[in-house]
Amino acid sequence: MVISYFKKVILLLFVVLFTASCVVQRSPVSGSKRAYGYSWEKEIKIGKQADKQIQQQYGVYDDENVLEYVKGVGHSVLEVSHMRRDDTPQKYRETEFHFRVLNSPVVNAFALPGGYVYVTRGLLAHLENEAQLAVVLGHEIGHVAARHASQRALEQQIGQIALIGGAVAGEELLGVPGGSVLQLGSQAAQFLFLSYGRDDERESDRLGVEYAAMKNYEAAEGAGFFGALQRISKQSGQDIPDWQSTHPDPSERANTIPELAEKWKEKGYDQTIEDTDEYMGMVDGMIYGNNPREGFAEEGTFYHPELAFKFSYPESWKIVNRPTLVAAVNEDQDAVSVMEIDGEAETPKSSVINYVSQEGFTVVSQEATQNNGLSAYKANATAMTKDSTQYRFHVYAVSYDDNIYRFTSYSLADKFAAYQPQFVDISSSFAELNDPDILNIKPVRLQAVRADRTGDFRSFLPQDLPMDIEPEDIAIINQVEMNETIENGDWIKIPRQ
């Protein structure tokens, strides 16, 4: 989604090249030896490094009960995976796994080498029971166990791999395009940049069902989630013909999951656990969609109620809001203004000077200024990349409420004059937010309730939906159609603000 706005600009600025070496080791899944891009020891090291970056850039969902629930299901499924079997080499069996819940509304799940598995609160909102969560977590454990990322690294290296330094396309949810920007570098970026192929996804589907079934979960329930994924894809305009995709179509997978589950029933594994009541108790009260307290854009103004600031931007530009930065990107994707808190500088001047003093920068002008009653400092500078491409920068820092906020705005040098007025307007508009209605805004939360009657799903929807939520959105998170009959006593999830 938002990666397209950053990609053209950042790709020109930051490119990282590195080489991975071929390593032959035994596969935890097949037991046979094969070549990988990295040793298992190296994968663990890379995963640990990237884990810190991912938590910083996504943010961790601050609800201990939700985290403990996900960790409990994850470790339960892990117990029967190839990573814990008696015939698996010791180095795999002793690898510690980490399960994280990320504070993102994007429906997303992914895993990093070395035992790091992530699900977003957006994904959790779209599941209906613990059995579906078990299949999803089993799928991601399967990616780790099969070492798919390291296989892809080997296949794509052939000398060197070019990466976007600092902007990596959002990892994909079980093979369905997600939408997030991660600020990652070096080898950590490589693993997220590599996309799995159809065979990888199908193998992880098989493993996810296998692990869930072995813990007696109703693994066929996973089909409902893939049906929801297909509806999300169509709603977002990302639905593409199966033959053009590098991943199995969600509808194909929705049909395959029950078939895989049936095979494990035939092997003697009873699959009776759904644990819907427990799951609904966990998601009840969870934040749904974008949390406005962490910042939101409306009619050309970005508001941040939690930090009590605001700034303006051209209405035709797009806003990208992340825990560590807010960026405004123009329609042609050749101009960007990035705002972030400078935790190192003590004054606006030191923040600006430190930035434009980087190697390759030449300062054109600089001066102290004041806007909206706040002390600030600004500078214009040029910078040259290794391929001799020249950029112009407008750097502006302002002191507010014990923080230094820095705007870094830039474009190609020959376009800077056209964009400079917008850059100046964006940064100089930074001001205190004092509107009580915005300062006190509350996030939308899921309310999980049992239906008190029998009726069409549509009849259970509130008359006035909060924020920009559509009725179809609510139907999708409940994995039902709008006209589907809800029986008295059935669980439903309704977003309320």
Residue pair 298/385 in contact (Cβ under 8 Å)? The answer is no
Helix orientation angle between 130-146 and 148-157, rounded to the nearest 10 degrees: 40
Distance CA 432, CA 401 (A): 9
Q: Residue 359's pLDDT band (boundaries 50, 70, 90)?
A: confident
The pLDDT of residue 122 is above 70: yes
- Angle at the Cα of 29 from the Cα atoms of 26 and 31, rounded to 5 degrees: 40
DSSP string for 281-340: HHHTT-B-S--GGG-EEETTEEEETTTTEEEE--TTSEEEEETTEEEEE-TTSSEEEEEE
Q: Is 224 left (phi over 0), alpha (psi -120 to 50) or beta?
A: alpha
- Mean pLDDT over all residues of the chain? 85
pLDDT in tens, 244-285: 345 577 778 889 999 999 999 999 999 999 999 999 999 999
Distance CA 212, CA 216 (A): 7
Three-class DSSP category at 423: helix
Mean pLDDT across the stretch 418-429? 98
Distance CA 23, CA 33 (A): 10
Residue pair 378/435 in contact (Cβ under 8 Å)? The answer is no
pLDDT in tens, 274-332: 999 999 999 999 999 999 999 999 999 999 999 999 999 999 999 989 888 899 999 98
Three-class DSSP category at 439: helix
Distance CA 169, CA 2 (A): 9
Give the up-direction half-sphere exposure of residue 212: CA atoms within 13 A in the CB hemisphere: 37
pLDDT at position 138 = 98
The single-letter code of the amino acid at 245 is S
C-alpha to C-alpha distances, 382 to 165, 208, 334, 358, 426, nearest whole angstrom: 20, 51, 16, 11, 19
pLDDT in tens, 10-44: 333 333 323 445 789 888 898 888 888 889 999 99
Mean pLDDT across the stretch 352-367? 94
Residue pair 205/213 in contact (Cβ under 8 Å)? The answer is no
Mean pLDDT across the stretch 140-169? 60
pTM: 0.83
Q: Estimate to the nearest angstrom the gap between the alpha carbon of 309 and the chain centroid.
A: 25
Distance CA 188, CA 344 (A): 24
